[in-house]
Amino acid sequence: MSTEQSPEPNPAQNPEHTGGQIPSQRQQPTLLDAVAELEAAVDAGDDENFGPALGLVGGLFGPAEPAERRAAGPRLAALLPDAPPFPRAHLAMVVGACVEYGADPVACAGPVLAGLRGALTGAQRLVERWAQTGGGPLPDREEDDPAQAHARIEDPAHLDEWHAHLAVVAWWTLHLWQRAAWAVYSHAPVRAEARASGVTEVLLELAGRYQGEQHDLKGLTCLAQMLDDEPLLVLDRPTGTGYLLRMSGLSDTFQLHTLLADVLIGGGHLPGAPQDPEVVALARTEFLGGRRPIATGAFNLVAPDGSWLWNEGTPADIPVLDGVRTLVLEPQPYERSWSAGRFIQEVPGDLRLERVLDPAEAARLLARTVPGMSVVGAFG
């Protein structure tokens, strides 16, 4: 008989105690498990464990199932207001990624856009204090030390320690907030809600005041101003005709110009050469490939008061007259051309004709407009 003792029973090796799984078969944490851990850290105010918990979320995001990513988005967005300042922007990036994988963009947008507002405010504060403390090149977020920037701008008479910290954080993370905001603003329901609530107006005002050259806000501001399901009244002065159209997802006036030519000239309503079908496709839904064809101008775009509307602007520049954005078409004073395509590739564009105005209505509406200024007047 052997004198070797039998080992004590190990519950971990007993299927009755492990739900039928041996250690190598135990389920690994899921993305939603990691989200719950991050939620616990935020609820406890545990800033020390926030970073590791966020790292776990990021590590599990890639292999997660689509349904998990969708469910995680609103839960992670809800944590943004109470997250520590520096890693908060990285959390916003994860929220943006969830939206790109199908999370509800409206449910995620509020905290993301609030964070962008804070980042714009703080970054501008750093710019102003930098000028007040001697000017010179603004900090390089890749090369410079945030602590040194903080020491330079902090002064109780102008900016206390906490607000100096927030300004430095904003400067170093504004690009991350831009990306997260881009993800939610790429969705029409978010744009509509943010515009109706006044959020977009505030963000555009802050972006307009921002003076830091290291952050290019043009794309994001075009996206934020993008109109969806928006009526557009178009009056053609040479023919005296009028058209009611509806536009969605147009990021710049180059794109609108192309589609106006497609719908009105290509549709046989106005004389002229129709646009190249490839140019039109790029203005609507197609993505740019290796070759970029050239679009050609067909009209001069004029506001009802006679001022020019430049292709470099956005459809949001078109004035509202009696509740409808109103645009007048006049002959081109000189030839124009530009590279075809959408400034914001992620959003498809659409312009469709709803009705042709009867001649009397078109004449009445045109009579309220002023002919466009001369070329000399347009250039000052």
pLDDT digits 0-9 by tens, 115-147 = 999 999 999 999 999 999 999 999 999 999 999
Assess whether pLDDT exceeds 80 at residue 291: no
Task: Check residue 159 and give its pLDDT.
Answer: 92
Task: Check residue 21 and give its pLDDT.
Answer: 43
Q: Which domain holds residue 368?
A: 230-378
% of the chain exceeding 90 in pLDDT? 86
Is beta strand 294-296 parallel, antiparallel or unpaired with respect to 241-248? unpaired
What's the mean per-residue pLDDT of the chain? 91
Domain final residue, candidates 178, 195, 225: 225
Q: Closest Cα to residue 258, out of 372, 326, 334, 351?
A: 351
Q: Are residues 220 and 317 in the same domain?
A: no
Q: Are residues 85 and 195 in the same domain?
A: yes
% of the chain exceeding 70 in pLDDT? 91
Q: Are residues 190 and 321 in the same domain?
A: no
Domain final residue, candidates 225, 251, 278: 225
Residue at 322 is within a domain: yes
Is beta strand 230-236 parallel, antiparallel or unpaired with respect to 324-330? parallel
Residue at 17 is within a domain: no
Assess whether pLDDT exceeds 70 at residue 24: no
Residue at 25 is within a domain: no
Residue at 154 is within a domain: yes
Quick: pLDDT tens for 227-274.
Answer: 999 999 999 999 999 999 999 999 999 999 999 999 999 999 999 999
Assess whether pLDDT exceeds 80 at residue 23: no
Q: Are residues 58 and 107 in the same domain?
A: yes
Residue at 373 is within a domain: yes
Q: Which residue has the higher pLDDT, 4 or 178?
A: 178
Q: Are residues 219 and 237 in the same domain?
A: no
Residue at 13 is within a domain: no
Q: Are residues 253 and 221 in the same domain?
A: no
Orientation angle between helical segments 105-132 and 66-79, nearest 10 degrees? 50
Residue at 6 is within a domain: no
Quick: pLDDT tens for 52-86.
Answer: 999 999 999 999 999 999 999 999 999 999 999 99
Q: Are residues 258 and 189 in the same domain?
A: no
Q: Report the domain count for the chain.
A: 2
Q: Are residues 70 and 173 in the same domain?
A: yes
Task: Check residue 28 and give its pLDDT.
Answer: 86
- For residue 63 the two structure tokens come to 């292999």
Residue 20's pLDDT band, with cuts at 50, 70 and 90, is very low
Domain final residue, candidates 188, 208, 225: 225
User: What is the Cα–Cα distance from 27 to 99, expressed in whole angstroms?
Assistant: 26
Residue at 11 is within a domain: no
Residue 102 contacts residue 68 (beta carbons within 8 Å): no
User: What is the Cα–Cα distance from 17 to 165, expressed in whole angstroms?
Assistant: 51
Residue 281 contacts residue 259 (beta carbons within 8 Å): no
Q: Are residues 190 and 254 in the same domain?
A: no
Q: Are residues 204 and 130 in the same domain?
A: yes
Task: Check residue 14 and give its pLDDT.
Answer: 39
Q: Are residues 238 and 197 in the same domain?
A: no
Task: Check residue 374 and give its pLDDT.
Answer: 63
Tracing tokens 């390089």 back to the chain, one arrives at 140
CA distances, 5 to each of 2, 8, 10, 211, 231 (Å): 8, 9, 15, 78, 86
Residue 18's pLDDT band, with cuts at 50, 70 and 90, is very low
Quick: pLDDT tens for 151-207.
Answer: 999 999 899 999 999 999 999 999 999 999 999 999 999 999 999 999 999 999 999
Buried b (16+ CB within 10 A) or exposed e, 296-321: bbbbbbbbbeeebbebebbbbbbeeb
Residue 209 contacts residue 124 (beta carbons within 8 Å): yes
What's the N-to-C CA distance of the chain in angstroms?
A: 110
Q: Are residues 299 and 176 in the same domain?
A: no
